[in-house]
Structure 1
């Protein structure tokens, strides 16, 4: 059996073997999180700062995340750049590290990110030494502005957060993948392992999945399924997908068999 060497993802100076990022919300119990991390082989987990309760062992999400896993606090709940900046600074002060996922959302119906406020927050926090991973509505020019602002990655949404509707922004994400030279992480809306594999086949550098794993009947097995799908999709991208034709083409010659001529 051939041995295939995994290529690695580098963000903020950290080398990652897994290209699956997971979330920590919506699980039936926090106690299942270590098993999901193990089954999925994910090395990065995002979390809302409100889940970090240093005074409560039972409710503090940090007590359920194994050592060595990269923490990715998010600024969930922020409506402006200023609020996102304040949340990021609080997370750092509470010992959650320098990585931060910027989420600035003022739309309460569709929960779509405010790109302008996200760019503002990214610029400030990047200058303060944060490794900034901004969640954004897929737009090429805003992605370029995030790069200029110092973002470590760009995280375009696949469909509205928590919807499990899959990748509905495929064409815009493809453009961003083609034009942006920092890691692209597809975030939000991925509902099936096949959709995660598709994102990787497109050339995304990673995906972030929460709801699809946390709300599955068996989150541990689903975590494993997503881990395998992400790896398969990345291998397919590295191998370069075969051509697509509008007509049939035989894989073996149709002539010369038992003297037949076609």
Structure 2
């Protein structure tokens, strides 16, 4: 398992648990990162109060890879502007593209996301677009230069799990990029299921942030993601739909 690394844009990661940090108190951020074994965490630019009080960057470990997101962007143009500003502030070249103008369901605008991805990839960003799992859109994002694809499992913040499981499986089978389930994962068991399916990583935020014991839930997600990845690599056993099968021989054991 030590050689089983997640590679995004030429960068290697041991952990496959990516933290969405938007809903955590600043004081809790570091504990969650440590307990979850997290190596990459999102960063909403509005929380990077550089030079002032309440700066989330002060609570991030030095070795963490920052993943600024374009939260709040309603168009590709706005997303590009936020990404450029994050780079100027020293947040690095990674960027998670979020373009959402649907205020009721908070569904990503796949087509504006494609536009932003193409522009930023040409500028040397390592672009990780958040998207509704549509195979044709995923292909367009790959062609536009995305470094990974981040399909939603369920509506953002809902904790409803893998409602889009069948569509995510299509992406796994057809897209030659890391597939990271983002949004909707509500339980460690659902994160494990996603990893067993063959996704490369899972991002969680609300499920951890709203737990009664937040650091302990971060640990639970880390272990579930590791278990799901191990199960996928081991190869899941076959499923018998209409009959059972003895786990040990039923004949011959009384014979001399």
What TM-score does the superposition give when structure 1 sets the normalisation length?
Answer: 0.95
Can you give the 5+ residue segments of structure 1 that lack an aligned partner in the other structure?
Answer: none
Question: What's the CA shift string for 1:143-186, capped at 9, x where partnerless?
Answer: 00000000000000000000101110000000010000110000
2:128 partner SS: strand
39, 46, 49: which one pairs with 1:43?
39
Q: 2:14 aligns with which of 13, 17, 23?
A: 17
In 2, distance between residues paired with 1:33 and 1:84? 25
> Does residue 1:252 correspond to 2:248, yes or no?
yes
Unpaired runs of 5+ residues, structure 2, are none
Q: Distance in 2 between matches of 1:26 and 1:156?
A: 20
Task: Determine the structure 2 residue equivalent to 1:103.
Answer: 98
Confirm or deny: 8 A CA contact 1:25 1:214 kept in the other structure. Answer: no
2:136 counterpart (126, 133, 141): 141
Structure 2: distance between partners of 1:5 and 1:46: 25
In the alignment of these two chains, the number of paired residues is: 255
Q: Give 1:5's aligned residue.
A: 2
How far apart in 2 are the matches of 1:159 and 1:204? 15
- Normalization by structure 2: what TM-score? 0.97
Instruction: Look up the SS of the partner of 2:119 in the other structure.
Output: helix
Equivalent pair of 1:102/1:135 in contact (CA under 8 Å): yes
Where 1:248 maps in the other structure, the secondary structure is: coil
C-alpha separation in 1, matches of 2:156 and 2:43? 14
Deviation at 1:37, TM superposition (A): 0.6
Corresponding residue for residue 129 of structure 1: 124
Measure the CA separation in 1 of the matches of 2:240 and 2:137: 35
Partner of 1:91: 86
1:208 to 203, 206, 210: 203
1:232 lines up with 2:227 in the alignment: yes
